[in-house]
Amino acid sequence: MSDLCNVFEIGPVFRAENSNTPRHMCEFVGMDFEMEIKEHYHEILLMLGNLFVHIFDNINKHCQAELAAIHRQYPFRPLRYRPKNQTLVLDFREVIGLLNANGENAKPTDDLTTPQEKKLGGLIGAQYNTDFYIVDKYPATVRPFYTMPCPHDKRYSNSYDAFLRGQEITSGAQRVHDVDLLTRRATECNIPIESLAKYISSFSMGAFPHGGAGIGLERVVMLFLGLDDIRKSSMFPRTPTRCEP
């Protein structure tokens, strides 16, 4: 809205959730970007895939001594991923079919469970020889109201998750930029319009089609290194039961 068509930020994120899992913390470093869409929201998927490939390439190129030191204490298999412009992208309905062909009872209108995501990582790794991939077109009912609906099938949305070794490292989507559609979507999701007045008004003078993603740095580090707990990727991990040191 301010004519800054490609923006990013890196900073602390605080989450007041009682999440006691090996992949959640109450404080982490967030790496977020939003970008203008010129023709199709898959421009974001290309950017997202190439961003991670750039990160992985440079870690492998410049951090061999550090990787070797970590490997001595926590042995891990090097991450498998495709080159620039070749990141694997699979449709959500395609991965549902893959899971169900291998003993799951996944529904095409429900979100994936954590066990299903991990199983999917193994299946995709075996079939496509990659640990990094993007799942596209999630069901609309499992995404926030401001996610752009799929124009061809309203049951789905222009949204996506990126995965490393079968675990999610970022969620993203094309955002609704039209005031009327944004208002209608909020109403459909039973969100009081008055609580969104300032948010909706920011689009009232016009906005570019846009989208992006939010990435958790420590989770990326954990999964790039094949660690079993995100606390090993943070100097001072903050959890629901740990506030110091």
List, by residue number, the catalytic residues: 15, 17, 23-24, 168, 171, 219
Give Cβ neighbours of residue 161 (< 8 Å, ≥ 6 apart).
134, 135, 138, 168, 170, 171, 172
Assign 229 to helix, strand or coil.
coil
φ and ψ of 19, to 5 deg: -95, 110
Nearest CA to 111 among 148, 157, 149? 157
Token representation of residue 32: 């977020």
For residues 31 and 8, the answer to whether their CB atoms sit within 8 Å is yes
Assign 239 to helix, strand or coil.
strand
Q: Tell me the pairing of strands 88-91 and 132-136.
A: parallel
Token representation of residue 108: 């095409």
Q: Which residue has the tokens 């109403």?
A: 187
Compute how many other C-beta atoms are within 10 angstroms of the C-beta atom of residue 150: 19
